[in-house]
Amino acid sequence: MAYKKNLLKSALAQAFEIPVKVTYWSGESEVYGGENPEIHLKLNVRIDINNVTKAPTLFFAEAYMNEEIEIEGSIQALVASAYRKKYSILTNQLGFRDAVLRALARAHDRKGSRKDIQKHYDIGNDFYKQWLDPTMTYSCAYFEREDMTLEEAQLAKIRNILTKLNCVPGKTLLDIGCGWGTLCIMAARDYGLNVTGITLSNEQHSYVNSRIKELGLEDRAKVLLLDYRDVRGEFDYVVSVGMFEHVGKRNLNIYFKKVHDYLSSEGRALIHGITAQARTTLGVDPFIAKYIFPGGYIPDLAEIISHIKDMRLQVDDIEPRRRHYQKTLEIWRANYMKVFDETVEDMGKPFARMWDLYLQSCAASFEAGNIDVMQFLLTKGPSGQGLPMTRKYMYEDIN
C-alpha cells in the first residue's frame, strides 16, 4: 500500500497553485506549492488513489461531507487554486468521462425534468429564506456599485434585464423558470407588463402566487406549474434567468426553439445563464450532478451561440458577469454560515457541510474563470429592431 500513498502524495504535490499543508492519516505532514501555507488539508482516513481518480470532485466532496477530510482555511481559495493548476487531480474528469457521457445522453423528458427541479428547489422555502436576500432571488446579482447590498444588487439585476428589453407598458412577458417570482412581480407592478411565469417547483409556484395575490396583481401576473415545452401563445418579451443550465445538452436546441416560438414576430428575449467561455471541463461535475443539480449541464459560449444561430434569433448584446456571480456566491455563503449550526440541527451535518462546500466551490469556479455567466439580448426580427441606437439606454434605470 505504500506505493499508493506515494502516488497520492505525488498527485497532491501537483494539485494546487498555492502553498497547502497536507496531513495524512498516519500523522505525517507535507507542505506543497511553496512556504507559509494558509490552508491545511487533513486526511482523517486512509485514501486509495484509485478511488480518487474515478471521480475526484465527488470523492473529495463526499469525504468532506462525512468528515473523513477536514479543511482549515478557505475552501474557495483551495478549489480555485486547483482549478487554476493545469492537470490537478482534483479537477481532472478523465476517469469520469464515461459517466459524464451517459449523463449528457439523458432524455430530460417532462417527468425527469420535474423530478430534477423539485429535488433542488423543493428542499423548502424556509431553507432558502435563511441565506438568500429578501427578494428570494437565486441567481447572479448585478453589483452596479461596489457598496450595494445583495438585495439592492438583485433588484438592480432585474431592473437592468427589463431595461435592456426596452419594455413597453401593456405588452406581454413570459418568464421561463421564474423562481420565487420577484422579476414577475416587478415587471407587472413597476413596468406595467402582463406577465406569465412558469416553474416546475411546487414550493415556488405556491409562494409566487401568494405574493401576487397579496399585492393585488392577479389581473397582470400569474405563475403556472408548467414545463417550458408546454407553454401556449406568443409574447412580446421572453426572459429566462438561470434556466438553460437545467435542460440538458440534448435539449438546448429545443429550449432555444421554444424561445423563438414563444416570441411575437418582433419580440425580444433576455437569456441569462451559466456558460463556459472556453471548454475546460465536460460541462457536468459529478458532485454537483449527484447532490445539487441532477440533470444539469453547463454549455460553452460557442455552443449557445450555435443554438441561437440555428433558431435564426438575432444577437443584440452579450454581457459576461462572472465577477458578479462570484461576489453573489460569497455573500450567500457568508449568510449561510450564520445559520450553519441551525442547518446541522435541522438537516444533519453531512447536508450542512455539503451546502457550504457547494457555495464555496461554485464561487471558486467563477473566481478561477472556468465558468462564466452571460446575458444574451436577442430579437426575433432584424438585430436592434425596437431598440435605441446605442447601449447607453441599458444602464439608465438601474438606480
42 pairs with which residues across the strands? 23, 70
As to burial, measured by CB atoms within 10 angstroms (0-12 exposed, 13-18 middle, 19+ buried), residue 103 is buried
91 pairs with which residues across the strands? none
Given a contact cutoff of 8 angstroms between Cβ atoms, the answer to whether 295 and 113 are in contact is: yes
Q: Dihedral through CA 176, CA 181, CA 184, CA 188, nearest 10?
A: 160
Pairwise CA distance, residues 185 & 216, whole Å: 10
List C-alpha distances in Å: 177 to 4, 12, 71, 119, 173: 47, 40, 35, 15, 13
175 pairs with which residues across the strands? 197, 239
Query: Minimal CA–CA distance to 229: which of 202, 215, 248, 205?
Result: 248
Count Cα neighbours of 26 within 13 Å in the Cβ-side half-sphere. 9
Given a contact cutoff of 8 angstroms between Cβ atoms, the answer to whether 173 and 205 are in contact is: no
Pairwise CA distance, residues 299 & 181, whole Å: 25
Question: Which residue in this structure is represented by grid cell 397579496?
Answer: 214
At 147, the amino acid letter reads D
Query: Minimal CA–CA distance to 134: which of 121, 122, 151, 147?
Result: 151
Strand bridging mode 39-43 / 69-72: antiparallel
Q: Which residues are marked as active site?
A: 362
User: Which residues lie closer than 8 Å to 263 by C-beta, 6 or more apart?
Assistant: 234, 235, 236, 238, 269, 380
Nine-digit cell at 232? 401556449
The CB density around residue 3, as the number of other CB atoms within 10 Å, is: 8
Pairwise CA distance, residues 316 & 375, whole Å: 11
Instruction: For residue 218, give the DSSP letter.
Output: T
